Amino acid sequence: MSQESIIPPNRLKRNLLAGHLQVGMFVAEFRQPSVMQILANAGFDFALIDNEHGGFGIETIGDLSRAAVLMGITPLVRVPDIAYPYIAQTLDVGAQGLMIPRVTNAEQVRSVVQQMRYPPLGERGSALERGFTRFRRAPVQEVLDSVHRETMLVIQIETRQALENLDEILAVPGVDVALIGPNDLGIALGVPGQLEAPVLVEAIEKTISTCQQRLVCPAIAMGDPRLAVAWARRGMRMILAGSEIALMMRAGQEVLTAIQDGVAHGN
């Protein structure tokens, strides 16, 4: 078998390397794999399955990840902690990348990279015929090489310590994306909920600049479309544009308002 026949290509990683803006959504609550088809139909590039603040079990993470791959949308998973079972098992069931929250220093990132990679580059154990291989088997070295090529690592920048250690963190080999979490970072900087506060804007600009120097993709979680566009124009290449919950709420409110206004005003 060819490499791509057993390990699916990571479209998100390839598109980012090609310089294309990529937009995705958190999946934090909906457990039906069909949510991935809906996001793909809407045109999103990736889905971030939230296992930090979401309530998903590993079986659901596997179902959602494999459905996303089948629909042509890249599945990433935010793990709840830096621990081998969360990292290895999440990748084994089919995630094409991980997002690591609450990072404070480069040593944490080096530990994650070690747990994601197979020997001699790391310490991940090998199991074939699992979700990430689409339950197929191929020569072991072919699988290892393909996994190393197609798997992504996203580091969240959401703490004061991460900002202070930013250059060292992004210098760790294996980091593909640095994603600003403006909600938590704003809280850490003393400006909770103030997405345009100067101290937060300065931190985001610092992250973009350091990413460009280190050849790491800068990204941001931004549910406000106006601010998402503004940051994309200033260098962000990957936008996490809210959650499936927010999408449903916003669409529902728009429909309800349109009906109520139409009835009230005779339109």
Q: Is the peptide bond before 120 cis (omega within 30 degrees of 0)?
A: yes
Name residue, tokens 């045109």. Answer: 43
Q: Is 233 exposed, middle or buried (0-12, 13-18, 19+ CB in 10 A)?
A: exposed
> Residue 239's beta-bridge partner residues?
23, 220
- Distance, in Å, from the CA atom of 38 to the CA atom of 235, rounded to the nearest integer, reads 28
Angle among Cα 145, 150, 151 to the nearest 5 degrees reads 105
Name residue, tokens 């001699």. Answer: 120
Helix (H) or strand (E) holding 262: helix 244-265
- Distance, in Å, from the CA atom of 31 to the CA atom of 122, rounded to the nearest integer, reads 32
Two structure tokens written together for 137: 């088997």
Cite the active site residues.
Answer: 53
In degrees and rounded to multiples of 5, residue 97 shows phi and psi of -175, 160
In degrees and rounded to multiples of 5, residue 100 shows phi and psi of -110, 115
Cα radius of gyration rounded to whole Å, the chain: 19
Two structure tokens written together for 6: 């057993």
